[in-house]
Structure 1
Amino acid sequence: MSPRAGSTGPHTLAFVESPVQLLNVLEWAHAHAPGADLTLVVLSPVDPMTRGQLRRMCGLAREEGHQVRWEEARGGPGAPLRTVGGLTAALRRADRVVLGDPFSRYVQLLLTLTRAPALVVVDDGTATMEFVGQLARGERLVRWHRKGGRPGPRDLLLAPVSGAARRRLTPGGRRTVEVFSAMPVDATPPGVTVRAHTFAWTRDRFGPPRVTGGADLVGTSLVETGVVDADAYLEAVRSLARTHGATRYFAHRRESAAKLHRMAGATGLEVVRPDLPLELVARRGPVARTVLSFPSTVVHTLPLALSGTTVRVAVCDIDPAWLTDGASPRARGFLAGVTRTARDAHRLTAVPGVPGVPGVPGARTAPAV
């Protein structure tokens, strides 16, 4: 990994495992490290949809002049050992390390191998809000939809790695920690610098989009993560589509093919599998005048990515009755908080509710300005 010609500043190593994480590293580099010597390391997942989006995002990164290193990090039993061993020298040389997912066990393990004085955490969606809060409270790093459950054998086995990562992500001595986020951050840990993520690179690179009539629906993987009941979700999607005249459904990359097939048949929606993160797809267009979403990252990011357009982003609350028996105690409050903070940050106003789904509080909408 030779230094980038004409680069300035420290050598930066960035670890990403999803297309959105890679996008947010590009956004961070554009805003705060232009011309930096940046190597993007993709810890590739096994999911074909995610891999396809990551391949296309890697092409955009190379067009920006960044080095990209693709690691088959999950390609068989020996892959983790080979990946970690192959990255050790680069980690020791890096002056700055950028993380896309501080909850990732893979990333936490890699963190124990670096003594880089500068660490940066870029957005991994709404999980960033939980990460910052847990760091401020000195809690163990646990994803929000698993919080409240009893640690399993694997959690206990990897607890020393997670604890070491949390300590590494706590500023001290010469070590600085920065969070680059479009999410609202309430409790900032002492010494952590928070920088605003405004999707400036996305707006400079793409669009403005052609805006069409009707509405687009944004999918969520809450069913796949075991938080929301599948039948309740299907009925909510059907009611939203009927009420707001939606014709397209942008699937989350982790939504199952069986669920999407059932949804298309039951609702008549055109199911779209985006080839890039939704922020880029919407910015390129065409996009409907109203974009409907359940509580998720996009209710915070799309208003920023679509700033200056006439598109309105709306969020429909998750009714507690939709939650599964296996949903963590944290799930209800966290999802409500996503809606509340989006309302506060983006001036959400009420729109008609969702008939036919008992207890749905309705949707709220924000202008993309």
Structure 2
Amino acid sequence: MSRRPSSGTGATTGAAGGSAGAPRAEGRTLAFAESPAQLLNLLEWAHLTRPQDLTLVVLPPGDPMTRGQLRRMVELARDEGHPVRWQEARGGALAPLRAAGTLAAELRRAARLVIGDPFSRYLQVLLNLAGAAHAVVVDDGTATMEFASQLAQGERLTRWHRTGRGGASALLFAPVSHGARRRLTPGPAREVEVFSAMPIEPPPGVRLRTNSFAWTRERFGPPLLTKGADLVGTSLVETGVVDQERYVEAVARLAGEYGATRYFAHRREASGKLQRVASAAGLQIVRPDLPLELAARRGPVGRTILSFPSTVVHTLPLALSGTPVTVAVRDVDPAWLTPAAAPGAKGFLARVAESATGVRSLGPEPGAASA
């Protein structure tokens, strides 16, 4: 059953209001990305808003897959005419302090600060150093849904799959986290905007601008289509939400049910797990060199893309709009969850799947637990 597709118009809503137009923003804009998806969404935001003085700062993590995709995204950003700085902020106890010191003066001068992950401790430090009166949060996938909910309810910023309160380190970091949340809360002298393709309800006073992946569609494709189905991997095992054995078995069943031949790995998926997936499901493992939205738009891609609840069930229908590709989502059986999964994991994953528009719902597996 297909859900109603979203309009994807780039409309602006919320207390700050406004039309769906693309005004040219005034003042210096400093934008930060720590992942390829964040950098992609920064490019989408820049394509829509046309900021006059934008500098992109990439803060790469240590894992090779993410760094490789980030370097490819940097090439695309520079092709679009955006200045990009590659700022190492990890790799030793002093690296974050050196990077923060290097960026401090620019942070104070920027009129607008754009970030891709409000839960990142490093970006929370930078938020506390910023003098910008205008803050923008661009999509970081399903985490954006939780950010909007926590901001609206006045809760501390915590990733949805985390359990507990974080121990002594979280306690020590609490003043920084509190300061970051305050800077992301709209006020008389502070504007806050969220740029997202996810189904979120903006907190009072927060401007919501819709990401329709217009730049992606204009820049790439349409893709060459293959006859088979492709399956999209998730990092639910790596984040401790889903048991690895249950996940591998579920992938094999889903691939067999729909004749999938390829498995597009998430950049954070472990090599050992991927070997298990390839062996159990007979799938060809593909490690894209770009975020999946761009890889699928460039093709080749299957006429059906299968996924468990994740960001792509919201973004791929937009990126592949105008093509005959069907995106389908299979629910996560509660029996797959680990004992360490956060109490709200079941409900959150269900909300991710049920709120996706323009996708085919596969529902739960036959005989799956309903509890």
TM-score (norm 1): 0.91
**Which of the residues 168, 174, 183 maps onto 1:159?**
174
**3-state SS of the aligned residue for 1:275?**
coil
Q: Deviations over 1:184-213 (max 9, x none)?
A: 013x21110000000000000000111111
**Which of the residues 304, 308, 316 maps onto 2:322?**
308
**Which of the residues 186, 191, 207 maps onto 1:171?**
186
In 2, distance between residues paired with 1:39 and 1:349? Answer: 39
**Which of the residues 63, 68, 77 maps onto 1:52?**
68
In 1, distance between residues paired with 2:193 and 2:38? Answer: 15
Q: Does the 8 Å contact 1:29/1:36 carry over to 2?
A: no
**3-state SS of the aligned residue for 1:184?**
coil
Question: Is structure 2 residue 41 aligned with structure 1 residue 24?
Answer: yes
Q: Does the 8 Å contact 2:30/2:112 carry over to 1?
A: yes
TM-score (norm 2): 0.91
- Call closer, same or farther: CA 1:76–1:272 in 2, change over 3 Å: same
In 2, distance between residues paired with 1:349 and 1:270? Answer: 24
Please, what is the CA RMSD of the aligned residues? 1.5
In 1, distance between residues paired with 2:223 and 2:365? Answer: 28
In 1, distance between residues paired with 2:267 and 2:347? Answer: 24
Aligned residue identity for 1:262: R
Percent of aligned positions that are identical? 68
In 2, distance between residues paired with 1:280 and 1:349? Answer: 21
In 2, distance between residues paired with 1:263 and 1:303? Answer: 25
Q: Does the 8 Å contact 1:37/1:66 carry over to 2?
A: no
Q: Does the 8 Å contact 2:329/2:362 carry over to 1?
A: no
Question: What is the aligned length?
Answer: 347
- Call closer, same or farther: CA 1:26–1:242 in 2, change over 3 Å: same
Pairing 1:276-287 to 2, within 5 Å after superposition: 276-287=290-301
In 1, distance between residues paired with 2:70 and 2:267? Answer: 11
In 1, distance between residues paired with 2:363 and 2:346? Answer: 22
**3-state SS of the aligned residue for 1:329?**
coil
Aligned to 2:309: 295
Question: Is structure 2 residue 343 aligned with structure 1 residue 326?
Answer: no
Pairing 1:68-83 to 2, within 5 Å after superposition: 68-83=84-99
Which of 1 and 2 has higher RCO (CA within 8 Å, sep 6+)? 2
Q: Deviations over 1:169-196 (max 9, x none)?
A: 011122100000000013x211100000
Aligned residue identity for 2:228: G
In structure 2, stretches of 5+ residues that fail to align are 1-23
**Which of the residues 138, 142, 145 maps onto 1:126?**
142
**Which of the residues 11, 21, 45 maps onto 2:28?**
11
In structure 1, stretches of 5+ residues that fail to align are 1-6, 362-369
**TM-fit CA distance, 1:354:** 4.1
In 1, distance between residues paired with 2:363 and 2:127? Answer: 47
Q: Does the 8 Å contact 2:29/2:51 carry over to 1?
A: no
**TM-fit CA distance, 1:263:** 1.3
Structure 1's consecutive aligned runs of 4 or more residues displaced over 2 angstroms after TM superposition are 348-355
Question: Is structure 2 residue 228 aligned with structure 1 residue 214?
Answer: yes
Q: Does the 8 Å contact 1:318/1:360 carry over to 2?
A: no
